[in-house]
Chain A
Amino acid sequence: MGEEKVELKITIPKSLYDKIKEEADNAGFTDIEEFIRFVLEQLVESGETGEELSPEDEEKVKERLRALGYID
């Protein structure tokens, strides 16, 4: 499970840091890094489905859904 990690050093305004820190605390994150990672993941990955599905496979799935009466 252990994926390779890179270390990233960024500089942000203190006011932004304070806001992020407050958000992270409110959302129940234990540390600010975990929160930033989570937010970035959400941002980058939105719009992607995370499924590896060829058009042929998708058609197969739909065929079964049709056969079972889930779609017309």
Chain B
Amino acid sequence: MIPRPHGGRLVNRVLTGKRREALLREAEELPSIEISYERLIDLMDIAHGAFSPLEGFMVQEDYLHVLYDMRLSNDLPWTIPVVLDVDPEEISGVKEGDDLALKYNGEIVAVMRIEEIYGWDKKEYARQVYKTTDKNHPGVAKTYNRKELLVGGEIDLLREPSHPLENRILWPIETRVLFREKKWRTIVAFQTRNVPHRGHEYVQKAALTFTDGLLIHPLIGWKKPGDYRDEVIFAAYEALIKYYYPKDVVVLAGLLMNMNYAGPREAIHHAIVRKNFGATHFIVGRDHAGVGDYYGPYEAWEIFDEFPDLGITPLFIREAFYCKKCGGMVNEKICPHSEEYRVKISGTKIRRMIREGKIPPEYMMRPEVARVILSFKDPFVH
């Protein structure tokens, strides 16, 4: 059965038709603030129900519960605060109870009903969410760069700026209808920000052995230099699906969502969001959503023990490697042989070969996939 959304009901705060027109006119007269691209993405995730049951940016009670208990004030699991930061000067003229227009690139995108304006301790946020206050951690650095106050309250989305990959993006209501059309009862979701190598394929197929369908769900959003470009990731997956997956068991769709690198907390967040998209299972990788060595390799697995009421089943599948003795792709749990027989698949190594214009060996990456990646003049972000 496709699970009910987190909290029981799929949030929809995308206004359409007459209500939208009326609110757009009203919004012209409202005080407004300009929001960043990342907050715009949060806004869209809220409005389209990817962040159900959130109806807006968090008020202080929810924020503090999430920060310290990893649950909303109504006890539902939630691990990453979704907050809107503002400068005191920007909102000097507004008070709690007022409506505020949110603008992106000077254009009104949403209206927010200000329920609460409150202060926050960014260092404490970093300590709780990222388990470190080290500003070399990309998530911590971003937190420290945010503004001094938070505003909480419900939002209504009025406009969505177009996205170069908008035809690749599906929202929860769409994947839910799609899964029903396909008559899938169990769906495993796979989070990625990478082109697929043989290890990824192994993990996905291990999961797919037991489920009706697989949702390959690349995260679209801000990237750091050296990452593969989004178009490249989609093209590479299309090649893999075309040549190596049976018909009608895979859905490839982009997820517009921010990446925080919050390791274990983010693994839970990723699972909750996939539940909203209709997945019943979620593959959690080793050091999922981690960065550097801030988190232990299996911390992102252990944290699931604290959430028996998540409503989506995590699948902990060990990293795959090629074993010369076994004669195929295996993982630590099923291969008894020693290191000398094991060939690790390294993303770094593959990246280097791609940079040099070389096709990686077949045990690392399918040649059809490699060729597609190499067909791009420049597969990487700068």
Q: For residue B173, which residues in chain A have a CB less than 8 angstroms away from its CB?
A: 51, 53, 57, 61
- Bound CA–CA A48/B74 (angstroms): 21
- Bound CA–CA A62/B10 (angstroms): 18
Which of under 10, 10 to 19, 20 to 34, or 35 or more describes the interface residues of A? 20 to 34
Flag if A62 contacts B308 (CB, 8 Å): no
For chain B, the count of residues having a C-beta within 8 Å of the partner chain is 30
Flag if B74 contacts A34 (CB, 8 Å): no
B103 interface contact, C-beta 8 A: no
Name the one of A27, A52, A65, A70 contacting B308, with C-beta atoms under 8 angstroms.
A27
Pick the interface stretch among B142-150, B175-183, B329-337.
B175-183
Flag if B178 contacts A71 (CB, 8 Å): yes
Which A-chain residue is minimally distant from B55 (CB atoms)? A1
Name the one of A3, A28, A50, A64 contacting B174, with C-beta atoms under 8 angstroms.
A64
B64 interface contact, C-beta 8 A: no
Q: For residue B61, which residues in chain A have a CB less than 8 angstroms away from its CB?
A: 1-2
- Bound CA–CA A45/B6 (angstroms): 12
A40 interface contact, C-beta 8 A: no
Which A-chain residue is minimally distant from B9 (CB atoms)? A50
Which A-chain residue is minimally distant from B181 (CB atoms)? A71
B91 interface contact, C-beta 8 A: no
Q: Could you list some 28 contacts between A and B, CB below 8 A?
A: A1-B72, A1-B76, A2-B61, A2-B74, A3-B74, A27-B308, A28-B305, A28-B308, A29-B309, A38-B308, A45-B4, A46-B1, A50-B4, A50-B9, A50-B10, A51-B10, A51-B176, A52-B9, A52-B10, A53-B173, A58-B177, A61-B173, A61-B174, A62-B181, A64-B174, A65-B178, A70-B170, A71-B182
Please give the residue numbers on chain A whose beta carbons come within 8 Å of chain B beta carbons, in ascending order: 1-3, 27-29, 34, 38, 41, 45-46, 48-53, 57-58, 61-62, 64-65, 68, 70-71
